[in-house]
C-alpha cells in the first residue's frame, strides 16, 4: 500500500539490548467466578527511550491489564517485565500513570498541592524545592490561574491536565497513559492529544499509551501495537513516521484505514 508503513510480520522478535522496557512472554490470568480468564496471552515487545508506544485494541483485549502490570500494580502469571534491566515488582516514581478516571487527584489538595505533594513524595524534595517545579508544570498545561482550585471544582479536561502535569513533573523514566482522554468530549480529547504530543516532543518523554482509538494512536504514537481480544494477543505492529501525524492529511487517513482494515476488519476481530 503506497505511503503506508509496512505491517510487520508477528510474532515480533524482541531485540536483546539496551531497551528501557522489556516485556517478555507475559501472560496475565484472572481468577473469576466462572474460572480462570486469560486477559493477556504471551505478549512480548520492547520499548526504547524516546519512543511513544501505543497499545491499541478493542475493549477487553487486556491492554489496561498489561499497563497495570508495567506500572507494578499487578504481577504477571508468567513471563517477565524489566525496566532498565531490573524486574518490575512494584509501583515506583520511575513510572507515572495517568488514568482515564477523573478521580485520580487527591480531593483534599489544591491543583498546586497535588503536583507539589507528588514531587515531595516521589522525588524526596522539600516543599520549598517542589513548589516552583510544580508551578512550572501547572503553567505548562495552562492551569496557572487554577492552581489554588480543588479538584471537585475543575472540569474533566482540567483534572486530566493536572494529572498530566503531575506525571511529567516527576520526570519518570516511563509515562504510562491508560486511555487518559477516553471520558472527554471529542473536541477536548483532540486538543488534549495535541497538548500531550507537544509536551512529549518538548521533553523527549518515553510513553506507553493505551487506547482503542486508531486516530488517537496515530496522533500520539511513534509505534502502534495492535491487539486482538479474548485472550489479548499482539496482532500487528505499525510505525508512525512523523510525516503521518498531521490529522486531515491523506497519509494520516491512509494509515488509519490500513490499520482498520488489516487488524480490526479481520473475521476473528471482536470490536467489543
Ligand X SMILES: Nc1ncnc2c1ncn2[C@@H]1O[C@H](COP(=O)(O)OP(=O)(O)OP(=O)(O)O)[C@@H](O)[C@H]1O
| Binder of ligand X out of 32, 34, 86, 126 (CB under 6 A) | 32
| Residue number with the smallest Cβ distance to ligand X | 64
Is residue 89 close enough to count as binding ligand X by CB under 6 A? no
Query: With respect to ligand X, which residue has the nearer C-beta, 37 or 149?
Result: 37
Task: Indicate the Cα dihedral angle 169, 175, 179, 181, nearest 10°.
Answer: 30
Query: How many binding residues for ligand X (CB under 6 A)?
Result: 13
| DSSP class of 121 | H
Q: How far is CA 198 from CA 45, 129, 203, in A?
A: 25, 26, 9
Near ligand X by CB under 6 A, which window of 46-54, 57-65, 135-143, 246-254?
A: 57-65
Is residue 54 close enough to count as binding ligand X by CB under 6 A? no
* C-alpha grid cell, residue 149: 482550585
Least distance to ligand X, CB of residue 254, Å: 26
Give the burial string for 206-236 (b: 16+ CB within 10 Å, else e): bbbbbbbbbbbbbbbbbbbbbbbbbbbbbbb
Is residue 73 close enough to count as binding ligand X by CB under 6 A? no
**Phi, psi torsion values for 158, nearest 5 degrees:** -65, -40
Is residue 208 close enough to count as binding ligand X by CB under 6 A? no
Query: With respect to ligand X, which residue has the nearer C-beta, 10 or 133?
Result: 10
Helix, strand or coil, per DSSP, at residue 40: strand
Is residue 75 close enough to count as binding ligand X by CB under 6 A? no
Residue holding cell 505499525? 238
Query: With respect to ligand X, which residue has the nearer C-beta, 60 or 156?
Result: 60
Query: With respect to ligand X, which residue has the nearer C-beta, 55 or 146?
Result: 55
Query: How far is 21 from 198, CA to CA, in rounded Å?
Result: 23
Query: With respect to ligand X, which residue has the nearer C-beta, 62 or 76?
Result: 62
Applying CB under 6 A, the residues found at the interface with ligand X are: 30, 32, 37, 39, 57, 59-65, 212
Amino acid at each position: 500500500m503506497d505511503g503506508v508503513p509496512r505491517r510487520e510480520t508477528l510474532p515480533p522478535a524482541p531485540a536483546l539490548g539496551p531497551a528501557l522496557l522489556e516485556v517478555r512472554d507475559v501472560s496475565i490470568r484472572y481468577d473469576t467466578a466462572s474460572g480462570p480468564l486469560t486477559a493477556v496471552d504471551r505478549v512480548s515487545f520492547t520499548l526504547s527511550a524516546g519512543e511513544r508506544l501505543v497499545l491499541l485494541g478493542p475493549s477487553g483485549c487486556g491492554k489496561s491489564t498489561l499497563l497495570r502490570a508495567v506500572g507494578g500494580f499487578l504481577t504477571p502469571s508468567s513471563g517477565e517485565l524489566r525496566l532498565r534491566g531490573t524486574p518490575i515488582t512494584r509501583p515506583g516514581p520511575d513510572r507515572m500513570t495517568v488514568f482515564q478516571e477523573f478521580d485520580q487527584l487527591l480531593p483534599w489538595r489544591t491543583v498546586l498541592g497535588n503536583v507539589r505533594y507528588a514531587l515531595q513524595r516521589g522525588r524526596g524534595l522539600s516543599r520549598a524545592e517542589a513548589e516552583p517545579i510544580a508551578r512550572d508544570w501547572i503553567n505548562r498545561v495552562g492551569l496557572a490561574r487554577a492552581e489554588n482550585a480543588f479538584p471537585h471544582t475543575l472540569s474533566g479536561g482540567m483534572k486530566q491536565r493536572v494529572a498530566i502535569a503531575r506525571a511529567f513533573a516527576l520526570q519518570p523514566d516511563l509515562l504510562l497513559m491508560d486511555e487518559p482522554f477516553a471520558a472527554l468530549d471529542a473536541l477536548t480529547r483532540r486538543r488534549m492529544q495535541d497538548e500531550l504530543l507537544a509536551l512529549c516532543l518538548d521533553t523527549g518523554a518515553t510513553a506507553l499509551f493505551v487506547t482503542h482509538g486508531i486516530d488517537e494512536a496515530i496522533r500520539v504514537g511513534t509505534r502502534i501495537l495492535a491487539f486482538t481480544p479474548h485472550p489479548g494477543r499482539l496482532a500487528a505492529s505499525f510505525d508512525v513516521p512523523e510525516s503521518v501525524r498531521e490529522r486531515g492529511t491523506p497519509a494520516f487517513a491512509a494509515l488509519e484505514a490500513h490499520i482498520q482494515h488489516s487488524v480490526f476488519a479481520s473475521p476473528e476481530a471482536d470490536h467489543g
